[in-house]
């Protein structure tokens, strides 16, 4: 088969997709009209027919947060999640674990239950309609306080049926994992799985990866490909089976390097690396495009492309999801 057909036909799992990063300019315009709002100027300016346009993390976050203004009702959150799930189904994604940023909504007056109920109804509807399994990972915004994160964790306790884990995203500069040690310890005690963004090209990125592994005891790391610089940490993630959720197209835009070399090196060293789409509406690539990027821009073999998906199913928290939903 043709490589593109091979990639498109592979059953996939996605473990690193931000629901708010699935807001396309088209959906933002539709929701703005429905809510009788006008789109913020920063959002309109960055909109193109292919998706949003920007050039680094700062300019991305400067569009990402204002665009969320259009999300007002549970129905809006439902439609946002459904927009992604329909596309994921077309990309042969069988299982996904979706990040969301509740504090980006509660901080502008949207109640926590509105956000979760809207997302949850879409996940259940997609499961019934096309058999895709999907659950939520709640991210704390690391540029906000640990106290706000802890209060958000308390808000999430009644929703353990759909929220299986907690993560950490937004601006990593001067916001190390250790800032949230108490929050993650409590989350683990409550039964949530743990993951964290350890972004590449970050000044203290190796130290942040070390903290995530040794002090927080994460189950996964999001991005984290520059762990290749530290063989001791590589040995630890191999021993503990800690997986890495890498995002090639996102990295190619935010850091101008898709990290194909690092992904392949880690894969061939038996580290459980995976390929994911991060913020597909913003980085203009869903599951197939991200796998294709690795397939065409590295010397990866087809068997190894399959291994990347095996890794994703293996490091997924699907068994916990089944426990919550069926047993």
Binding mask 151-190 for Zn ion (x = CB under 5 A): ----------------------------------------
21 binds, among Zn ion, ligand HPA, none (CB under 5 to 8 A by kind): ligand HPA
**At its nearest, how many Å lie between Zn ion and the CB of residue 116?**
19
Binding mask 8-37 for ligand HPA (x = CB under 6 A): ----------x--x----------------
* Position 105 contacts ligand HPA (CB under 6 A): no
156 vs 246 by CB, closer to Zn ion = 246
14 vs 169 by CB, closer to ligand HPA = 169
Distance CA 97, CA 133 (A): 8
Contact 37, 44 (CB under 8 A): no
Among 170, 195, 226, 251, indicate the residue that binds ligand HPA (CB under 6 A): 170
Q: Scanning residues 272 to 291, which ones bind Zn ion (CB under 5 A)?
A: 278
274 vs 307 by CB, closer to ligand HPA = 274
Please provide residue 132's backbone torsions phi and psi, each rounded to the nearest 5 degrees.
-80, 135
* Position 211 contacts ligand HPA (CB under 6 A): no
72 vs 192 by CB, closer to Zn ion = 192
**At its nearest, how many Å lie between ligand HPA and the CB of residue 281?**
11
Binding mask 230-269 for Zn ion (x = CB under 5 A): ----------------------------------------
Give the interface with ligand HPA as residue ranges (CB under 6 A): 18, 21, 57, 169-170, 197, 250, 278-279
The site for Zn ion (CB under 5 A) is made up of: 278
């Amino acid at each position: 088969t043709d490589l593109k057909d091979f990639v498109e036909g592979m059953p996939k799992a996605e473990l690193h997709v931000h629901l708010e990063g699935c807001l396309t300019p088209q959906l933002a315009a539709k929701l703005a009209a429905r809510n009788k709002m006008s789109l913020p100027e920063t959002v309109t300016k960055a909109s193109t027919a292919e998706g949003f346009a920007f050039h680094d993390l700062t300019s991305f976050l400067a569009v990402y947060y204002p665009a969320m203004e259009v999300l007002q009702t549970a129905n809006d959150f439902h439609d946002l999640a459904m927009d992604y799930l329909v596309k994921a189904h077309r990309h042969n994604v069988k299982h996904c674990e979706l990040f969301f940023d509740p504090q980006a909504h509660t901080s502008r007056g949207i109640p926590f239950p509105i956000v979760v109920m809207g997302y949850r109804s879409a996940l259940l509807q997609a499961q019934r309609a096309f058999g895709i399994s999907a659950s939520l990972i709640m991210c704390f915004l690391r540029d906000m306080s640990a106290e706000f994160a802890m209060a958000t964790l308390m808000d999430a306790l009644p929703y353990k049926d759909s929220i299986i884990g907690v993560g950490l995203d937004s601006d990593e500069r001067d916001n190390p994992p250790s800032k949230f040690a108490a929050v993650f310890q409590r989350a683990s005690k409550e039964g949530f799985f743990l993951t964290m963004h350890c972004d590449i090209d970050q000044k203290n990125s190796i130290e942040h990866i070390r903290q995530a592994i040794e002090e927080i005891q994460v189950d996964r790391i999001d991005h984290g490909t520059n762990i290749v610089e530290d063989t001791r940490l590589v040995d630890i993630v191999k021993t503990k089976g800690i997986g890495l959720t890498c995002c090639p197209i996102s990295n190619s835009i935010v850091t101008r390097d898709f990290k194909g070399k690092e992904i392949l090196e880690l894969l061939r060293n038996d580290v459980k690396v995976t390929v994911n789409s991060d913020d597909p509406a913003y980085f203009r690539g869903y599951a197939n495009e991200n796998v294709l990027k690795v397939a065409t821009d590295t010397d990866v073999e087809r068997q190894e492309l399959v291994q990347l998906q095996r890794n994703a199913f293996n490091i997924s928290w699907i068994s916990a999801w089944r426990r919550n939903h069926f047993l």
